[in-house]
Structure formats: structure tokens, C-alpha cells
Amino acid sequence: MKDYPHAGNMEVCPKCGADQIEGSAFNLQDESLYQEMTCLTCPLKWTEVYDIARRFTHTSEGLIYIYDRNLKKETEL
């Protein structure tokens, strides 16, 4: 991964480190959120994928339910 010295820093381009980056709207697909990213300084494009691990159920009367996908556990409040 030596070609991507800035990988892991979400604020900048993973390759050149420029903070002029642009992200598309989030796309939901198969319980993951995808965001297409473009660096405005170098030609790199990449995709950020967010795994949805927890679900919170909020009602007009407050938080009632948490589901954790990794623990396969449901918590009723």
C-alpha cells in the first residue's frame, strides 16, 4: 500500500494528500453505504464503503430499540 501514503485519513486524497476532494451522495446497497470520491488535484477516484453495523429505532416518543448486526443482538430499551 506504499502508493497510498494517506490511506486511512478520511479528510484527504489517499494518494496525494490533497484536501480538495469531492464526494457523491451516499448510495445504499446490500446494507452498505457507498460514496464515490474524486480528488480534484490528482486523477484518483475511489469508493468509500460504510458497513451498517447498528440500527437505532427512534420513534416520536424516543429511542426504543437497538439492533447490532455484528453481535446479532437486539436490545430493547
* Site for Zn ion, rule CB under 5 A: 13, 15-16, 18, 39, 41-42, 44
User: In the complex, what is the shortest distance from the CB of residue 26 to Zn ion, in angstroms, rounded to a whole number?
Assistant: 21
Q: Closest CB to Zn ion among 4 and 34? A: 4
User: In the complex, what is the shortest distance from the CB of residue 39 to Zn ion, in angstroms, rounded to a whole number?
Assistant: 3
Extended strands (E) in the chain: 21-23, 27-29, 32-39, 45-51, 54-59, 62-68, 73-76
46 contact partners, CB below 8 Å, separation of at least 6: 14, 37
Q: Closest CB to Zn ion among 9 and 32? A: 9
